[in-house]
Amino acid sequence: MKKLFITFSLAAIVLSFSAAAFSQVGDDPPAPAAGAAGQEKLSELLASRLEGLPEDFEISRKDREEAYARLLEGQRYLWSMRRMRAAEPGIKVGARMAKSALEKAVELDPKLAEGYTALAELTLTSPPQDLDEAIGLSEIAVKLDNDNFGGYRFLGRLYTIKSNLGREKLIPEFAAKAISAWKEIGRLDPRNAEAWAFLSAFYEATGQEEERIGSLRNWLASAAPVEQGFYGRVMREDSELSPEAAAVRLGSALLDMGRNSEALEILTRAISDDPGNLEAVDLLGQALENATVESMSPVIEALRQAVFANPDNLSLNQLLSETLLRSGRASEGAKVLENAAARVSEKDGKVSSAYLVALGDLHVENKDPESAIDAYRKALKARKIGKGPVHDDDEREFAGLVLGKMVNAEVSAEHYARALEIINESRGVFPEEDLTPDRELINLYRIKGDRDSALAHVKSVRSRAPRDYSLIRTEASVLTDLGRVEEAVSLIRDLIDNKPAGIGPSVMYDDFINFVFISSLYNQAGETRKAIEAATSAFSVARGEEKRQIAKLSLASAQQNSGDFQSAEKNLREILSDSPKNPIALNNLGYLFLENGKNFENALELVQAAVKVDPKNPSYLDTLGWAYFKLGKLELAEHNLRRALRYSPTSATIMEHLGDVLKARGKSSEADEIWSKALKYLTKAEDSDRIRKKLGR
């Protein structure tokens, strides 16, 4: 999806003046102003005059003193203008007087670099705000004085604007010039946070990873700037220039490059310095996914200190408990959450319930469903849920969340009868019209492979709620599981062909959404030609770039499944050309390379980028694990596939991949066990036959 960017004032963002300066110019960045016909620009005139100076040119002391006096006079006018509003008459007068004084200064002393820098500032402050003219004047200033900080600062900021940094489509020519200018600022002021922050952003955008790391380290060592308005306006979400922000960016960059131990060290330090930094906490969690047990000890101590300083911070308590679990200290991890829940139980039942849900999740990961169910029940009790139907929307939503977790806890241990008991017990919690228990039951039937019961129950529930769109889609999916894809598609086509008269905007009757879903049904059934036709129809009715990209993703999936890798690759690359961080396109292109037997290293880079955007997505983690398998990195492959299975415990695809990795690692009995489990969730005969062949059946 393309971002929308608000336009802004050049003078305000380049110079970052006081609030008054923001009103001196219009809302939109002006286009470079053209001179009148036949009229030479001031920067060109002054540059020409400099070139015409004799080699032995010298200036008298009197002229030098007069030039400085005029420079100071012009700067006084500039200072006064900063204090005025755009509508004040004094602005035009001040601009005219400043221009006269500054032009006289460089006439008296053509080599007075500060005069050209002041003229560049004046060009941006007063109409017509000619960006290219300001660049030309700044170029003269730094050519005359290689240590002219102001000139390089203008060039860095102006070329940054022209480079389109932060707006997805970087313009390489101007990016290179911006990098050159910011490097000079870093040379002149090694602790200039803005310079190193921009350099790190440019190096990231241009794929210069080592330079990016170096810039981030320099930023981390820089002084916190007083003024960061320009950086904030360009970078938007990443607008902080503090050392804490640098630490987070550095940790993220090190993770991107696979330098996990360095990332762990930086992020641990960041959380020690600022325990409330949730972004650092999230990144540290990612770093810990690939950490060795030995490396966790200092992290655990840092997290303990952070929790001590912020005892009610759920994210910190949860990360500490998960880290203890992964280091083999599950009981200590559980105790962290139990204590946190007890500490707040009297004053805030909702917060206490959040800790108890996290405790249940911890027990599920530790393969202890009984303890997990106990924690989930306590979470409901903390919010006084369980004594009669819940009518409050927030409480009902929470009850639905916990019910899903309880069912999944039992399903993960293949305790299907217990899962059914939990669903039946929950019917007393939800009002009669709430279909949450029925949806869980339909899903349980599908997980068990009992598709006939799933279809019978969804039809029964639909008789009570015939216009429930999610149930219509569920019925279509179950029919497709049963090999009855045309019946499935007819349910959805009816929504396209037979809309009620006078229907307004509606998700149920949205042709785009329904064509995309039809394409997915045909893909699921292996009828790729029809999947391509439906995706093409979705594209034809798509309105807006985001929907067109979704349709193109559906089309690429169908093309890939049909064996047309070239067309699929073309469509995925087109999406990434417009949206380089689209995680679905990144993942799908990476998987395409893996399945097509080429570009394994490139595939790894693509899927790593997808995982960075959504680190807990099981599909992306599956592709990541498969990429490591193809590259022969079996330990990393197993690690990431097990992570994927934690988030999607019934995925036959992940199970098959994990079995392949376990077999390659010499763990044959574990491989057979996971392949046998995968068989229960497969719907296609060809997939089942492939797994049975691996099992030697």
pLDDT (tens digit per residue) in 387-423:
789 989 999 999 999 999 999 999 988 899 999 999 9
Please give the Cα distance from 572 to 549 (Å, whole number). 9
What mean pLDDT value characterizes the chain? Answer: 88
pLDDT at 684: 80
Average pLDDT over residues 117-144: 88
C-alpha torsion 603→606→610→613, nearest 10: 150
Place 333 in a pLDDT band, splitting at 50, 70 and 90.
Answer: very high
Q: What are phi and psi of 109, to 5 degrees?
A: -130, 90
Please give the Cα distance from 478 to 484 (Å, whole number). 9
pLDDT at 634: 93
pLDDT at 682: 84
Please give the Cα distance from 668 to 439 (Å, whole number). 37
Look up the CATH number of domain 10-32+41-50+60-235: 1.25.40.10
Q: What are phi and psi of 465, to 5 degrees?
A: -140, 70
Angle among Cα 7, 8, 14 to the nearest 5 degrees reads 140
Please give the Cα distance from 108 to 642 (Å, whole number). 74
| 249-262 pLDDT, tens digit each | 999 899 878 788 89
pLDDT at 168: 66
Please give the Cα distance from 628 to 18 (Å, whole number). 53
pLDDT at 290: 75
Please give the Cα distance from 606 to 593 (Å, whole number). 10
Please give the Cα distance from 159 to 174 (Å, whole number). 6
| 187-212 pLDDT, tens digit each | 999 999 999 999 999 999 898 999 99
pLDDT at 18: 30
pLDDT at 84: 67
- 681: nearest Cα among 440, 483, 447: 447
673 vs 281, 495, 618, 621, 623, CA distance in Å?
36, 43, 20, 21, 21
> Is the separation of the CB atoms in 514 and 499 below 8 Å?
no
Place 179 in a pLDDT band, splitting at 50, 70 and 90.
Answer: very high
SS3 state at 388: strand
- pLDDT value at 2 more than 50: no
Average pLDDT over residues 52-57: 82
Place 649 in a pLDDT band, splitting at 50, 70 and 90.
Answer: confident
The residue whose two tokens read 């559980």 is 334
| 418-431 pLDDT, tens digit each | 999 999 999 999 99
pLDDT at 13: 37
Q: What is the DSSP-derived secondary structure letter of residue 3?
A: P
Place 238 in a pLDDT band, splitting at 50, 70 and 90.
Answer: low
Place 87 in a pLDDT band, splitting at 50, 70 and 90.
Answer: low
DSSP string, 26-70: -SSPPPPPPPPTTPPPHHHHHHHHHHTS-TT----HHHHHHHHHH
535 vs 479, 511, 549, 628, CA distance in Å?
20, 11, 11, 31
Please give the Cα distance from 235 to 219 (Å, whole number). 16
Place 439 in a pLDDT band, splitting at 50, 70 and 90.
Answer: very high
Query: How many CB atoms are located within 10 Å of the residue 289 CB?
Result: 17
Provide the residue ranges of all domains of the chain, joining segments of one domain with +: 10-32+41-50+60-235, 250-311, 484-576
3-state SS string for 214-234: HHHHHHHCCECCCCCHHHHHH
Per the structure block, which two tokens stand in for 236?
A: 């938007």
pLDDT at 12: 38
pLDDT at 518: 97
pTM: 0.72
- pLDDT value at 379 more than 80: yes
- Minimum mean pLDDT among 220-229, 352-361, 688-697: which range? 220-229
Per the structure block, which two tokens stand in for 497?
A: 């062909």
- 82: nearest Cα among 134, 24, 130: 24
Q: Do domains 10-32+41-50+60-235 and 484-576 have the same CATH topology?
A: yes
- pLDDT value at 310 more than 90: no
Angle among Cα 494, 497, 500 to the nearest 5 degrees reads 90
More confident residue, 20 or 220: 220
182 vs 142, 186, 249, 265, 621, CA distance in Å?
13, 6, 18, 28, 37
pLDDT at 89: 66
pLDDT at 201: 92
- 677: nearest Cα among 659, 690, 664, 689: 659
C-alpha dihedral sign at 464, 470, 525, 478? negative
DSSP string, 181-214: HHHHHHHH-TTBHHHHHHHHHHHHHTT-HHHHHH
> Is the separation of the CB atoms in 124 and 15 below 8 Å?
yes
> Is the separation of the CB atoms in 326 and 296 below 8 Å?
yes
> Is the separation of the CB atoms in 523 and 509 below 8 Å?
no
Please give the Cα distance from 104 to 97 (Å, whole number). 11
Q: What is the DSSP-derived secondary structure letter of residue 480?
A: H
Tell me the CA end-to-end span of the chain in Å, nearest whole number: 47
pLDDT at 302: 87
pLDDT at 362: 94
- Minimum mean pLDDT among 36-50, 134-148, 359-373, 595-609: which range? 36-50
Q: What is the DSSP-derived secondary structure letter of residue 167?
A: S
Which one is the CATH code of 484-576: 1.10.1580.10, 1.20.810.10, 2.60.40.10, 1.25.40.10?
A: 1.25.40.10
Q: What is the DSSP-derived secondary structure letter of residue 513?
A: H
| 527-572 pLDDT, tens digit each | 999 999 999 999 999 999 999 999 999 999 999 999 999 999 999 9
pLDDT at 39: 56
Q: Give the relative orientation of helices 545-561 and 511-525 as an angle to the nearest 10 degrees.
A: 10
Q: Letter for the amino acid at 566? A: Q
Please tell me whether the peptide bond between 128 and the residue prior to it is cis, using omega within 30 degrees of 0.
yes
Per the structure block, which two tokens stand in for 248?
A: 């987070």
Distant-in-sequence, close-in-space partners of 680: CB < 8 Å, separation ≥ 6: 448, 449
pLDDT at 663: 94
Helices (H), 109-148: 113-125, 131-144
Helix (H), strand (E) at residue 275: none
> Is the separation of the CB atoms in 652 and 643 below 8 Å?
no
Please give the Cα distance from 525 to 484 (Å, whole number). 9
SS3 state at 386: strand
- pLDDT value at 147 more than 50: yes
Please give the Cα distance from 6 to 356 (Å, whole number). 43
Residues β-bridged to residue 426: none
- Minimum mean pLDDT among 52-61, 349-358, 671-680: which range? 52-61
- pLDDT value at 657 more than 50: yes
Q: Letter for the amino acid at 349? A: G
- pLDDT value at 458 more than 80: yes
> Is the separation of the CB atoms in 600 and 631 below 8 Å?
yes
pLDDT at 88: 63
Helix (H), strand (E) at residue 579: none
Q: What is the DSSP-derived secondary structure letter of residue 387?
A: S
- pLDDT value at 349 more than 70: yes
